[in-house]
Structure 1
Amino acid sequence: MFDKQRYGRLKWACRRGMLELDVLFMPFAETGFLELSEEKQEAFERLLTFDDPDLYAWFMGHQECKDQEMSDMIEHILSRVKV
């Protein structure tokens, strides 16, 4: 379960070195994260441990993520930001 302190660390981890990732992660952490199941919340937390260049390549579609759980999370986040 994500207590206030753990959720705060997660939101801090959403602050990346790339604006393109910030505009994906920050809003998702604020609006979509708490709606996820505990398993999916942990998957999102794990996603944030990857390096920015890898995340950028996956989210921008330049490279395929081989980890199915991470790939599913990426698709979920992208589906929430598309209008």
Structure 2
Amino acid sequence: MSDDTSPEAILRKRLYWHSRRGMWELDLLLIPFLQQRYDSLSAEDQLAFQQLIEEEDQDLFAWLMRREWPGNETLRRIVKMIVEHAESTDNSAYRTL
């Protein structure tokens, strides 16, 4: 992370630290998605990611492990994007989850 103090850099740092959940499985999905895909998302999808990381860990775990899907369509869309990103990258650790 850089020393940039622009609003965008501050938001990015906040998102990074909120994506670090302390659960290896969640970190493995959220952080790479943030680093590799977030900047290319539409403004709507960026807001959805911001909303998603405010959710409880147990909900995030169930959603990202595909045990259930969020009832909110916006959250469901971003969860599917994160799961698809993990499946499409060379993330062998994800395949063992």
Q: TM-score, normalised by structure 2?
A: 0.80
Q: Deviations over 1:21-56 (max 9, x none)?
A: 000011111110000011110110000000000000
- Separation in 2 of the partners of 1:10 and 1:43? 12
Larger Rg: 2
For residue 28 of structure 1, the aligned residue among 14, 29, 33 is 33
Q: Deviations over 1:54-80 (max 9, x none)?
A: 000111122221011000101111111
- Separation in 2 of the partners of 1:37 and 1:64? 21
Task: Give the unaligned 5+ runs of structure 1.
Answer: none
> Which one-letter code corresponds to 2:28 in the other structure?
V
1:41 matched to 2:46? The reply is yes
Query: 1:3 is paired with a residue of what secondary structure?
Result: helix
Query: 1:74 is paired with a residue of what secondary structure?
Result: helix
- Separation in 2 of the partners of 1:80 and 1:40? 14
> Which one-letter code corresponds to 1:81 in the other structure?
A
**Aligned ranges 1:40-79 → 2 under 5 Å:** 40-79=45-84
Deviation at 1:17, TM superposition (A): 2.1
